[in-house]
Amino acid sequence: MNFEELKKIANPGEYPFTRTPEVKAKYEKHLENLRKAGITPAEHIKSQNYPPLTHNEYPYDLDGCQHMVLWGYYSDKYLNSLFPDSDNIVWFKNNPNNQSVKGLPHVQVITPRDYKISFTN
């Protein structure tokens, strides 16, 4: 799926996105290491002191896109003001059934690969 196809999905938070086999294997190994250490993904992320907007280390399989994550709780109104360029930015909150990091609010932010995005919180 490319960016133009992504923009046509009515409710991307409901869509069952996939990762490439390589990214999926890397992510599953990461999750297994966390389980062995007795740490949840949310606890791990909180301990890393990530900036609010980060590149997703385990992006969805989207052609020609950059996939970022905005950590924290933000209202839809605020997100619309933060990312007004709907031609170049798709943001969505995953349905709880599609969330791999439960217990830590976050938003998926996807743009064309060469799009420059800035964020100030």
Distance CA 31, CA 77 (A): 33
Whether 36 maps to a domain, the answer reads: yes
Q: Is residue 120 part of a domain?
A: no
Residue whose structure tokens are 């709907």: 86
118 falls within a domain: no
Question: Is 63 within a domain?
Answer: yes
Residues 93/74, Cβ–Cβ less than 8 Å: no
Domain, as residue range, for 8: 3-112
> Does the residue 119 lie in any domain?
no
Segment 3-26 shows an average pLDDT of 95
- Provide the domain count of the chain: 1
pLDDT at residue 16, as a whole number: 93
Assign residue 71 a region (left: φ > 0; alpha: ψ between -120 and 50; beta: otherwise). beta
**Tell me: the pLDDT tens digits for 65-78?**
999 999 988 898 98
According to the model, what pLDDT value does residue 82 have?
Answer: 85
**34-90: per-residue pLDDT in tens?**
999 999 999 999 998 888 899 999 999 999 999 999 998 889 898 888 888 889 999
